[in-house]
Structure 1
Amino acid sequence: MSDIQRPVVRPRRLRTTPAMRDLVAETELAARQLVLPMFVREGAGEPVPISSMPGVVQHSRDSLRKAAAEAAEAGLRGVMLFGVPERKDASGSGATDPDGILNLAIADVVAEVGDALVVMGDLCLDEFTDHGHCGVLDAAGRVDNDATLERYAEMARVQAAAGAGLVGPSGMMDGQVAVVRAALDGAGHEDVGILAYSAKYASAFYGPFREAVDSSLQGDRRTYQQDARNAREGVREALLDIEEGADIVMVKPALAYLDVLRRVADAAGEVGVPVAAYNISGEYAMVEAAAANGWIDREPAILETLTAIRRAGADMILTYWATEAAAFLR
């Protein structure tokens, strides 16, 4: 050892103790940055487990209110709500019915938690259509972009009237943010924000979500969701949404698209627009399955996953672990 030149620069000095590591940590993960997606099932008397997402349920209206209160108590600052209706049709009429399950759920949660949480509504037709697509179909069975925008405008007005603080247009229709913004402003809901699903990719990791919303999807969504091979396109979509009035832009999925998230965060940061990322159902299911088999240590894996998404540039993360992760962080 005496013949070896000892290093002068020792990065390990800044890793010696937990306090030292905390002192120099570059990335913060906090409960306030987490948003809990929740599903509410019309007619459910009690929560219905989702087999491919252990620990996640289709809520009843009562259990949804309780879960929202727990989320607020845990320090979360937002929830994203998805409705699971009893009946579906070609136009997704349940999405714009003021007494439809999603709109009732928004009102329920707002009444339960007030301003403690930002209550967000998924603004898309896929949960409500009998064909499972995010828009209405034309005579040839293709998703009709502009006819769908009319439905989105109506959804925005109804969700805002129910009390939503943010609406989340997630269907990847061209021009959706501009139409939703105009609809909200025209109905006197200028203070309701738009969380735009800007870079949403046609992903293999959505499978468990399809169970969660009892999806009726026929075919696929590759004509309107983005191609996994394209990164620049994700930035372009986000910048277009910002031009149209998006208050927050989002990348979905998160883990397989961390490079896109970084690019979008850099571009949105130049104009001061926050960026969200959705840690989706398949990402959740993979960690849960591996942990259940004893292949990974569950809690550190969850926190490492969420930290990676923050490190890549997300200001906020939609994740099914949100309430539990907040407890870990405490």
Structure 2
Amino acid sequence: MHENTNGTDKLIRGALFLVMGAALTVGTWSIYTLLTSRFQAPKEVAFFGAGMFDIAALFFALLSQKYAASPDSGLAPRLAMLAMVATSSWVNWTHARLEKWGLVGGVILAAAPVIAELSFEMWHRYEHREALRRQGRVPTALPVIPGLAWILFPGRSHKVMRRTVGARLSVIDKQADAAASSDDAHHIERITEPHQGITASRGNEAQQIVITLQQPQAIAASPRPGRSGAAHDAPSEAARQRSDAPPRIITVPQAAASAASLDEAPEAPHDVDFTALSKAAAVRTMRDALPDATAQQIADALAPHGITTDASYVRTVLSRASSGAPQQGTGGYL
């Protein structure tokens, strides 16, 4: 079956080249004769002028065919191809009128570029459809309900068709929600990454207190009875040595200022556009920006941004986000 399909494609392409070759030959001969006989143009110039419109149309046609295998629109090159074909056809028609070949001669010459364009257009539509089918972008055909069934069972036939179309719309709706959820996730990651970096850098900043300990000056003790002067001088010498010793520095780590008071309400990030996010996405974004905030604090932080919610909804969203289970039929939205 595959070999027969390839053989059929080769036959179709061969017929296409023959038809386009014949039509382009007639069209280019008409313009070449017009340039050499009427305008006395040099043969070299007439040679390039004869194929100017047709070669440009062929270029735009090939470019349009390239778009058939891509999701982008090939409307612009196809419009350019039609403009070149229309201009070439008008020039050929004018040539027949100048030579006084009558209506028949004008139709023959003017139809040449049109035939070439129509031949390629039919082939282009076939190739475009096959390319979409290979990419899975061509939906399967709807069920064929005979006309007699519509006459005998109109209600049942309508229900079958309605149910079939509804099922397809449900699949398309889920795919659209999944695509929107994926785009929303990328948007959240892009706008929250700088804020998370700033929060992490602030949390890692070392705040320390430097304490300098200086030994007190020696205090002369009053001599006690029964002790010699050398004995009284010994403590004084030790104290003098301690007073000459360099000061000792003790570094004591201190907690960050943001964690000093847990009772203070967390501040929402100012660089996030919450209006562009869904409610569930806004809750997840606020949780990422304020990881230590409670559910009620997250709900209160979203209120100034026009998002009304409560602690129960916040806990539900965070619970589903932590479990990682997809939400059926919602595309990730609540």
- Shorter chain as normaliser: what TM range? under 0.3
More strand by share: 1
TM-score (norm 2): 0.17
More helix by share: 2
Larger Rg: 2
